[in-house]
Amino acid sequence: MSARIAPTALYQEVAERLRQRIFAHELLPGTWVDEQKLAEQYGISRTPLREALKVLASEGLVVLKPRRGCYVTEISPQDLDDIFPLIALLEGRCAAEATAKMGPADLEQLTAIHERLELSAREARIADFFEANQEFHKIIQELANNRWLLQVIQDLRKVLKLSRLHSLSLEGRLQQSLEEHRAILAALKAGDASRVEKAMHDHLLSGREALAKMQEHQAATKAA
């Protein structure tokens, strides 16, 4: 197959490449986006680049400032306080809807992923735990089969990726997160949608509390 990008999809491909660079923190939060340099790197004109930046701005990943250019969004503690309660409500609802729609095979799949969480936690492999955690949440969201919920959750999670803090690095958080996943899985197996919704909701808010503790620790370290 040809590796060439169709002209109509050029700005979308550019948007995806920039999106991944932002998530990888190659383009750091708060930094100015050098349009000319990027256009030269990608061998494109600035027109598709600017269209790509408009897409990222609509997702909240960059901010377009008149006469000042484009900047990677810098997520603040207040942003996290605003976003986490929303995503907790949405993912809780997703989990409740998934409970009513999933079958035995779906539950087996989630159980297998949870076993990966258990193993990663025992061996203190944070990266593997994080990957399995992402997959666990993603499957539940897909099982809800509600494209509107999924779209909003995905948009919010994109913004959360701008945070350079990782709650699983906090002492005790890995085990706490595992216990929260156990509660979610147990409620799923019981087919109790209300219990699943609350367990998922509390799990997300617990993640925000862990991030807050990390921020407090960092601030105290800098002040010392």
**Euclidean distance between CA atoms 67 and 50, whole angstroms:** 14
Q: Which one of 19, 38, 72 terminates a domain?
A: 72
Q: Which one of 29, 55, 72 terminates a domain?
A: 72
SS3 33: strand
In a 13 Å sphere around the CA of 214, the CA atoms on its Cβ side amount to: 19
201: closest CA among 176, 175, 180? 180
Q: How far apart are the first and last CA of the chain?
A: 58
What is the average per-residue pLDDT within 41-47? 90
- Tell me, yes or no, whether 62 and 111 share the same domain: no
Q: What is the reported pLDDT for 211?
A: 86
What is the average per-residue pLDDT within 25-47? 90
Confidence of residue 1 (pLDDT cuts 50, 70, 90): very low
- Tell me, yes or no, whether 56 and 81 share the same domain: no
Q: In the predicted model, is pLDDT for residue 67 greater than 90?
A: no
Confidence of residue 135 (pLDDT cuts 50, 70, 90): very high
- Tell me, yes or no, whether 126 and 196 share the same domain: yes
- Tell me, yes or no, whether 208 and 105 share the same domain: yes
What is the average per-residue pLDDT within 136-160? 94
Residue 2 lies in a domain: no
In terms of residue numbers, what domain contains 170? 77-223
Q: What is the CATH number of the domain that holds 147?
A: 1.20.120.530
User: Cα–Cα distances in Å, from 114 out to 47, 67, 77, 150?
Assistant: 46, 50, 30, 21
- Tell me, yes or no, whether 216 and 168 share the same domain: yes
- Tell me, yes or no, whether 92 and 134 share the same domain: yes
Burial of 9 (0-12, 13-18, 19+ CB in 10 A): exposed
Residue 1 lies in a domain: no
Per-residue pLDDT tens digits for 71-106? 999 888 899 999 999 999 999 999 999 999 999 999
Q: Which one of 23, 57, 72 terminates a domain?
A: 72
Q: What is the pTM of this model?
A: 0.80
List the strands of the sheet with 62-65, edge to edge: 32-33, 69-72, 62-65
- Tell me, yes or no, whether 51 and 100 share the same domain: no
- Tell me, yes or no, whether 66 and 132 share the same domain: no
Domain count, the chain: 2
